[in-house]
Amino acid sequence: MIRLSYVFLVLLVFAACKEGKQETEKTTSPRVRKNTSVEQPTQNQSFTRGTEIGISLSANETFPIDSVEVSVGDALSTFKTSSFNITIPDRKVGTWRLLIKAYSGESAETHYRKIIVLPESAPEELTYQVENTYPHDTDDYTQGLLFKDGYLYESTGQRGKSTLKQKDIATGETKKVVNLASDLFGEGLAVMNGEFYQLTWTSGKGFVYDDQLNQVRTFNYQMEGWGLATLDDELVMTDETEKLYFVDPVSFTVQRELEVFDNEGKIEALNELEVIDGLVYANVYQEDYIVVIDPTTGEVLQRIDLAGLLTADESRSADVLNGIAYDAETGRIFVTGKWWPKLFEVTFQPKPI
């Protein structure tokens, strides 16, 4: 009995020692320390478009750098020194990712850097003049707005109240209406080839209607649905971020993405969209202004201040500015907002200095 107790005690001590060792033992990191490092640029460093970007690498004595390769987009350049300058290969603003590869003999080490390219100038500041005012249904939570063949078309939100409407612009009267299912939240609206495309917010489901507002098919997407507009043979979509998504109207797959930046940084919460003369006009959610975007570079070219459209009394029961419609035949531009009592026909001009 004494012998068995002794053996049991030894086993307990051994187990305790082993457990304590497991608790205090440090494991070796699987990450291998590199012989080189990128001193410049730093991660997320901002540069003004058109300026040269300095790249500088350092290395320890066991890894003398023979050459450096830098990939920016589709451009690849090789340098024979560890410090040099590069330029961005096109005019697109926003995030650029640099792949930097340092060589020493047959060995190579790879680094990645993300930089931000900003426009070289601030957007032009514009204001507005009201040309005409029309009635707008205060029950309509405006999410998408467009003008076609003399009628205003509006996609409205709120679950259980979401619709697609055809309206008489002069009277505000609803001529036709499509009610969405109660679990859907209507969002952006665009027209292409005589068909209307309507987004929903979080369901990843959209609808296509003919010119009589009969549903002809549905489509799916992976992001939130916010704004929608037509640019040439593509649809342009937003999802609350700073990005514009250019979408194939048949497959509804994203063909490319574009970040929107002004000279101070990215413009987040892009919302309802309209295309006017090849430029993208975007409401910024919860702001009283519209940004005008170059769809090739992502640069904000103009910022239109629309504060003061509603009186103080009208604003109390209304929500935010949202909704831009364009009559291409006459050049008229219309704006409104969520639960607004009015639709405004406006023109834009530079702000007084």
Q: How confident is the model at residue 56 (pLDDT cuts 50, 70, 90)?
A: very high
Q: How confident is the model at residue 336 (pLDDT cuts 50, 70, 90)?
A: very high
- The answer to whether residue 54 scores a pLDDT higher than 80 is yes
Cα–Cα dist 259/337, whole Å: 25
Question: CA 336 → CA 4, 135, 149, 168, 285, distances in Å?
Answer: 89, 10, 19, 15, 13
Cα–Cα dist 339/311, whole Å: 14
- Tokens linked to 337: 């907002």
Buried b (16+ CB within 10 A) or exposed e, 253-273: eeeeebbbbbbeebbebbbbb
Q: Which amino acid is at 153?
A: Y
| Contact criterion met (CB below 8 Å) for 259 and 295 | no
Q: Comparing 12 with 126, which gets the higher pLDDT?
A: 126
| Contact criterion met (CB below 8 Å) for 206 and 218 | yes
Q: How far is CA 182 from the centre of its chain?
A: 28
Cα–Cα dist 263/299, whole Å: 8
Average pLDDT over residues 312-333: 96
Average pLDDT score over the chain: 91
| Contact criterion met (CB below 8 Å) for 337 and 323 | yes
- The answer to whether residue 30 scores a pLDDT higher than 90 is no
Query: Which run of H or of E encompasses 292?
Result: strand 289-293
Instruction: Tell me, yes or no, if the pTM score tops 0.95.
Output: no
pLDDT reported for residue 6: 40
- The answer to whether residue 117 scores a pLDDT higher than 60 is yes
Q: How confident is the model at residue 353 (pLDDT cuts 50, 70, 90)?
A: confident
C-alpha torsion sign, points 181, 182, 185, 190: positive
pLDDT reported for residue 18: 41
pLDDT reported for residue 11: 41
Question: By three-state DSSP, how is residue 2 classified?
Answer: helix
Q: How confident is the model at residue 33 (pLDDT cuts 50, 70, 90)?
A: confident
Question: By three-state DSSP, how is residue 276 classified?
Answer: strand
- The answer to whether residue 1 scores a pLDDT higher than 50 is no
Domains in the chain, start-ordered, CATH in brackets? 36-118 (2.60.40.10), 124-350 (2.120.10.30)
Cα–Cα dist 91/121, whole Å: 13
Note the pLDDT tens digit of each residue in 235-289: 999 999 999 999 999 999 999 999 999 999 999 999 999 999 999 999 999 999 9
Average pLDDT over residues 38-67: 96
Note the pLDDT tens digit of each residue in 156-206: 999 999 999 999 999 999 999 999 999 999 999 999 999 999 999 999 999
- The answer to whether residue 23 scores a pLDDT higher than 50 is no
Q: Give every CB contact of residue 268 below 8 A, 6+ residues apart in sequence.
A: 240, 241, 242, 284
Percent of the chain, pLDDT > 70?
91
pLDDT reported for residue 31: 58
- The answer to whether residue 227 scores a pLDDT higher than 90 is yes
- Tokens linked to 293: 């975007």
pLDDT reported for residue 17: 40
